[in-house]
Amino acid sequence: MNRRAFATDLAAGLGAATLAGAAMAQTAQPQPRIMGGAITDVPGIKVGHFTETRRPTGCTVILTEEGAVAGVDVRGAAPGTRETDLLNPSNMVQQVHAILLSGGSAFGLEAATGVVRWLEEKGIGFPAGPARVPIVPAAILFDLTVGDHRIRPDAAAGYAACQAATDQAPGEGSIGAGTGATVGKLFGVARAMKGGIGTASLKVGAITVGAIVAVNAVGDVIDPSTGQVVAGARDVEGRNPIGTTTAILRGELPASMQAGMATTLGVVATDAMLTKAQCQRLAGSAHDGLARTIDPIHTMSDGDTIFTLATGKSGKSGNMMALGAIVPHVMAAAVLRAVRAAKAIGPSPPGASELG
Among 1, 2, 27, 129, binds a second copy (CB under 8 A): 27
Measured between alpha carbons, how far is 292 from 137 in angstroms, rounded to an integer?
Answer: 26
- The β-bridge relationship of strands 220-223 and 294-295 is antiparallel
Neighbouring-strand partners of residue 81: 139
128: three-class secondary structure by DSSP: strand
Name every residue whose Cβ is closer than 8 Å to that of residue 127 and which is 6 or more positions away in sequence. Answer: none
The yes or no reply on residue 29 touching a second copy (CB under 8 A) is yes
Among 104, 153, 178, 224, binds a second copy (CB under 8 A): 224
Residues 40-79 that bind a second copy (CB under 8 A): 75, 77
- Report phi then psi at 97, rounded to 5: -115, -15
Among 38, 87, 162, 222, binds a second copy (CB under 8 A): 222
Among 2, 53, 90, 226, binds a second copy (CB under 8 A): 226
The yes or no reply on residue 125 touching a second copy (CB under 8 A) is no
The yes or no reply on residue 273 touching a second copy (CB under 8 A) is no
The yes or no reply on residue 325 touching a second copy (CB under 8 A) is yes
The yes or no reply on residue 23 touching a second copy (CB under 8 A) is no
DSSP for 205-270, please give it: TTEEEEEEEEE--SSEEEETTTTEEEE-PBPTTS-SB--HHHHHHTTPPPPP--TTS---EEEEEE
Q: How many residues bind a second copy (CB under 8 A)?
A: 68
Which one of the spans 49-57, 118-126, 147-155, 291-299 is the region binding a second copy (CB under 8 A)? 291-299
The yes or no reply on residue 351 touching a second copy (CB under 8 A) is no
* H-state helical runs in the chain: 3-20, 111-121, 155-164, 244-249, 276-293, 320-341
Min CB(48)–a second copy separation in Å: 30
The yes or no reply on residue 281 touching a second copy (CB under 8 A) is yes
Q: Given the complex with a second copy, which of 89 and 205 has the nearer CB atom?
A: 205
Measured between alpha carbons, how far is 202 from 53 in angstroms, rounded to an integer?
Answer: 33
Measured between alpha carbons, how far is 273 from 275 in angstroms, rounded to an integer?
Answer: 7
Q: Given the complex with a second copy, which of 58 and 80 has the nearer CB atom?
A: 80
- Binding footprint of a second copy on the chain (CB under 8 A): 10-12, 14-15, 18, 25-32, 75, 77, 186, 202, 204-205, 218-219, 222, 224-230, 232, 239-246, 248-251, 254, 257, 281, 284-285, 287-288, 291-292, 295-301, 320-322, 324-326, 328-329, 356
